[in-house]
Structure 1
């Protein structure tokens, strides 16, 4: 069974090692542990926030988007394109605010 918050319980606790792409004091971007795309990077705040709908801190949101912009720019520069995705409600498997920065066609259908 998948935990409600993989990011806090596994990634931020250090139980699951990840390959970091970029990191600030409050935000972490890393390669997805089970990628769905040839390039699949996840960006998360280092503190628990349920979703985009519950974030209250404008400064943290700005820091998150600064990291997303940097990482998506690098992916786009290297591959010619990038997608930036987030999910809400039942589409959100892990109940922790996160974005996927991806390139390419899905690996699994």
Structure 2
């Protein structure tokens, strides 16, 4: 786990995760999507997947984002399947509006009890 608590910007993914300003435990990376173990997990198993190209949120997705969103959902589906098979359950979550701390579309895949 990395200490990313000092970050004060509004797009952790463009500013820190995608350019690898901190080390990440990557579980998927291709031209369109990065997925890794969350740097400050809320659940026992907590992965996050993001499109590498900036998309502000789920509600701002437009026609030009189709390839990125299809790739993102494919990775999320695979990760959720793997987590479900290994841990017996998985949840998929994205946040919007004031619930969205980082203003970059991202999807959490998690399982198990909350750890904080």
Question: TM-score per shorter chain, which class?
Answer: over 0.9
What is the TM-score with the length of structure 1 in the denominator? 0.94
Match 1:30 to one of 28, 33, 36: 36
Unaligned runs of 5+ in 2: 1-6
What is the TM-score with the length of structure 2 in the denominator? 0.89
Shift of 1:24: 2.2
Are residues 1:52 and 2:75 paired?
no
Are residues 1:95 and 2:103 paired?
yes
Shift of 1:71: 0.5
SS in 1 for 2:113: coil
- Deviation by residue 1:31-71 (Cα, 9 ceiling, x = unmatched): 00010101000000001111011122222211111000001
Match of 2:3 in 1: none
Runs of 4+ in 1 over 4 A off after TM superposition: none
Count of equivalent residues: 108
